[in-house]
Structure 1
């Protein structure tokens, strides 16, 4: 009899259930797309009931992949972090889920930056307040929607809401709790001083348990809705990026991973919860593994650059108007053109992550009449690599030197971009074509919770994903050292 884990990955736009056996082999995938609700004034929400219906649908439809010689041993969640669901005393929502993309609390965050509140919040929680994260969102409700604020008994991260719906027990795990910005990053306990700032108490937040802990068993109602057997345990799991770090094997202080969606986020493992020992631009979260933390930093919206480059430089250079043909022409030109320009720089459209006062907008510097589309395209791609290098050098100053860097997301599938990242940073870049990393990492946590494996190291011997390594061209070391210094100088000259 083959044992299966139903690993439910609840993202911002996709909800999926991946069936994975206890030796890390995928046996099926069911996924559905979920919508967002965008309103004026920066409001970006999701319908809680739509999300719940899709979770039920993925669990129900996953049974079609289960054969007579297989049995389901448990359910586990990997979920988007940084979103919050307010509920009443009966755990009924008092508002839609407010997602991490929301910006309604921008003015509050700006106020905190000026009066020192942000600094104090980071000292305790490991995070600087951001407009879309729960700490700021709750403060917005307190000030601007007192009716909803008063009706709300509990403020829940996504997994705590789903855990309640699945089992009747609301709880969360460290990697999800930290993104509420209400825990002590050293102890993972809810902090009343932080709660006081936004007008709530610690008993309005869910209990926190280890990522391998059992939340409870499926309720009778859920079993009826899905056709799943009674007595099925639900495991805590973790925040999606932290769960993916587990299956990638990012567990040491010389390892990091670059999440390359629309937003690029650099992540590095640390063995301490001391926010004073990470660069000031970085935030600190809990790993899904005890006694490990993940330092992270938003670098910019570089994932949107390829489409922008297509429209600006390549729209009329392909024989076909199809998107994939334009990208093929661009990639071929980049691979064939070996001429590297030491002076052509591109400054990020939304500013550098390492400059606080750069005005909106970006552009080229060092541009000449003889520069071609391929030269400008390479300069744009190099910019993202320079921002990564700046982050890695900041980590190095604090004692963390990254030797191996995973790239995950859209940019990792480019035939050109990973090589530029490797060359500029002088590190080996690891890639994978596997697209269900968070679910696979969560399945590892369920296996540890079930006692299938006693240690992470034992589990990792079976849960492996194929990878490809991109090695840096060491002959380009001096070239990119000099160009990176020019890039830093150009950014700093704008930072008044």
Structure 2
């Protein structure tokens, strides 16, 4: 049988067709606009997601025996606020994960309601990207729209609703709303009251591998598919990517080096660090995970190379870097503020340590190292909770750089495992569809059978020691400049 994985990203939807043995038959991608109506705002039209997904599925299935398609599932950008009225009309453009307008509402939740209460209710504290602060922003700034809300959903769940009519979500994505009691895997009544929403306005919560429905008759006809095709709940993009890299079970780790950067640690037991520096979310395998998310990872290198150096020859710039672990220049990678572990939307990037003999190569190396150091900040929090992490899978566009992989392996003192198929959330979504359709008994079995390691990058003891000394210096920089960020913003 065949399974479709839909990765609803921020700039495009990526669709993947996989057979039951994990062979990828075809991949297509279709872009849609991203809107910035004011500085710090980020929005999209949900109708664009649906239109491009439908077109993408048609393209994906050209010259394919459509009778073999058994299931569809999703990975998707998290935290976005999609609101529908009583007639199922979208009320306003979706407010996305990287939208920073709700900083006042975030401060209210963390400082007035209190971080301890939030952690008790949801296992997390408020971040500007989360959904609950967006709801409060809408209540304050768009009260007429707020009063029209009949349904609140997340981006990928809007697709599931359009395809099936099922008003649904699942644990991994719902965890990032700040409305879910993560430990109990159900909506938090306290948070609903704080945000002035009712449980009726929120979707039913499924496990990521559960079937939420079948295709609507008219949708199946439009796509040329059977009405018996199952739609499986799916997962937030990071949890779906973790499934696609086999990061399931206990103390398994995945590093994602995309536009943003994440460290993802799967766990069979629920856990929260005392400062809520990491997100504590439900995982797509039926258990839990810790996740540290930095807002600017590979995008730091893209910014440096394209905007500052005016080049797209990333490999050429990196080829001149020779002296790892000895760079005197530091870089803080906070171009858009930072989430984990600092939770500081006012933070900004900076270079420190330049002198008259600083070279172009030193600056490029500092950018790569700064991202690695910032990811290690989150790794250290995960380790403090008793997770014994000695190796990690690695994925994302930045991970295609051999130099960057080597830096990360030595900064973190981790063996990095490179995968045969690195297709991120789309592959994980297709695997969840296979589990939901009974091809595999559970997510762990699917990962064991379908995810293959193609190579490794080993840490080098001498370089590990050099980077340990550099990292300890890096850790001192943010606390020293933190107060300046608020002054600069004012």
TM-score (norm 2): 0.90
SS of 2:13's equivalent in the other structure is strand
Q: Which aligned pairs between 1:165-244 and structure 2 lie closer than 5 A?
A: 165-244=162-241
Shift of 1:204: 1.0
Q: Which aligned pairs between 1:237-252 and structure 2 lie closer than 5 A?
A: 237-252=234-249
- 1:287-334: CA deviation from partner (whole Å, max 9, x where unpaired): 1011x212112234132322343368855xxxxxx622xx23322211
- 1:401-449: CA deviation from partner (whole Å, max 9, x where unpaired): 3211222212101121110011111111223474523122222222222
Q: Which aligned pairs between 1:144-159 and structure 2 lie closer than 5 A?
A: 144-159=141-156
SS of 1:73's equivalent in the other structure is strand
State whether structure 2 residue 386 is matched by structure 1 residue 394: no
The 2-side partners of 1:339 and 1:201 are apart by 54
Is the 2:261–2:375 Cα contact (8 Å) retained in structure 1? no
Shift of 1:74: 1.8
State whether structure 2 residue 302 is matched by structure 1 residue 302: no
Is the 2:176–2:281 Cα contact (8 Å) retained in structure 1? yes
- Aligned position for 1:112: 109
The 2-side partners of 1:390 and 1:8 are apart by 31
What 5-or-longer segments of structure 2 have no aligned partner? 484-490
State whether structure 2 residue 383 is matched by structure 1 residue 385: no
The 2-side partners of 1:110 and 1:23 are apart by 48
Question: Residues 220 and 42 of structure 1: is their aligned pair in 2 closer, same or farther, counting only changes over 3 Å?
Answer: same
Match for 1:323 among 302, 312, 330? 312
The 1-side partners of 2:436 and 2:342 are apart by 44
SS of 1:43's equivalent in the other structure is coil
State whether structure 2 residue 6 is matched by structure 1 residue 11: no
Shift of 1:482: 1.9
The 2-side partners of 1:50 and 1:97 are apart by 11
State whether structure 2 residue 468 is matched by structure 1 residue 488: no
- Aligned position for 1:458: 445
- Aligned position for 2:331: 346
Is the 1:253–1:402 Cα contact (8 Å) retained in structure 2? no
Is the 1:355–1:495 Cα contact (8 Å) retained in structure 2? no
The 1-side partners of 2:324 and 2:233 are apart by 51
The 1-side partners of 2:159 and 2:353 are apart by 53
Q: Which aligned pairs between 1:432-443 and structure 2 lie closer than 5 A?
A: 432=419, 434-443=421-430
Match for 1:86 among 80, 83, 87? 83
Is the 1:358–1:494 Cα contact (8 Å) retained in structure 2? no
Question: Residues 358 and 371 of structure 1: is their aligned pair in 2 closer, same or farther, counting only changes over 3 Å?
Answer: farther
Is the 1:342–1:479 Cα contact (8 Å) retained in structure 2? no
Is the 2:331–2:351 Cα contact (8 Å) retained in structure 1? yes
Is the 1:331–1:415 Cα contact (8 Å) retained in structure 2? no
Is the 1:121–1:129 Cα contact (8 Å) retained in structure 2? yes
Is the 2:253–2:265 Cα contact (8 Å) retained in structure 1? yes
Question: Residues 443 and 313 of structure 1: is their aligned pair in 2 closer, same or farther, counting only changes over 3 Å?
Answer: closer
- Aligned position for 2:280: 284
- 1:440-491: CA deviation from partner (whole Å, max 9, x where unpaired): 2222222222222224343234312453311111122322222222222333
The 2-side partners of 1:85 and 1:60 are apart by 25
The 1-side partners of 2:433 and 2:452 are apart by 18
SS of 1:416's equivalent in the other structure is helix
SS of 2:242's equivalent in the other structure is helix
Question: Residues 48 and 458 of structure 1: is their aligned pair in 2 closer, same or farther, counting only changes over 3 Å?
Answer: closer
- Aligned position for 1:411: 398
Is the 2:267–2:288 Cα contact (8 Å) retained in structure 1? yes
Question: Residues 49 and 376 of structure 1: is their aligned pair in 2 closer, same or farther, counting only changes over 3 Å?
Answer: closer
Is the 2:170–2:208 Cα contact (8 Å) retained in structure 1? yes
- Aligned position for 2:133: 136
What 5-or-longer segments of structure 1 have no aligned partner? 316-321
Question: Residues 154 and 330 of structure 1: is their aligned pair in 2 closer, same or farther, counting only changes over 3 Å?
Answer: same
Shift of 1:357: 7.8
- Aligned position for 2:160: 163
Is the 1:86–1:153 Cα contact (8 Å) retained in structure 2? yes
- Aligned position for 1:43: 41
Is the 1:244–1:440 Cα contact (8 Å) retained in structure 2? yes
- Aligned position for 2:21: 23
Corresponding pairs, count: 481
- Aligned position for 1:318: none
- After superposition, the CA RMSD in angstroms is 2.5
Question: Residues 206 and 331 of structure 1: is their aligned pair in 2 closer, same or farther, counting only changes over 3 Å?
Answer: same
Is the 1:263–1:301 Cα contact (8 Å) retained in structure 2? yes
Is the 2:325–2:470 Cα contact (8 Å) retained in structure 1? no
State whether structure 2 residue 42 is matched by structure 1 residue 57: no
State whether structure 2 residue 412 is matched by structure 1 residue 425: yes
Higher-Rg member (1/2) = 1
SS of 2:206's equivalent in the other structure is coil
Name whichever of 121-130 and 179-188 sits farther off. 121-130
- 1:190-228: CA deviation from partner (whole Å, max 9, x where unpaired): 111101111111121011112222111211110222121
The 2-side partners of 1:495 and 1:255 are apart by 32
The 2-side partners of 1:269 and 1:446 are apart by 20
Is the 1:333–1:374 Cα contact (8 Å) retained in structure 2? yes
Is the 1:341–1:375 Cα contact (8 Å) retained in structure 2? no
SS of 2:449's equivalent in the other structure is coil
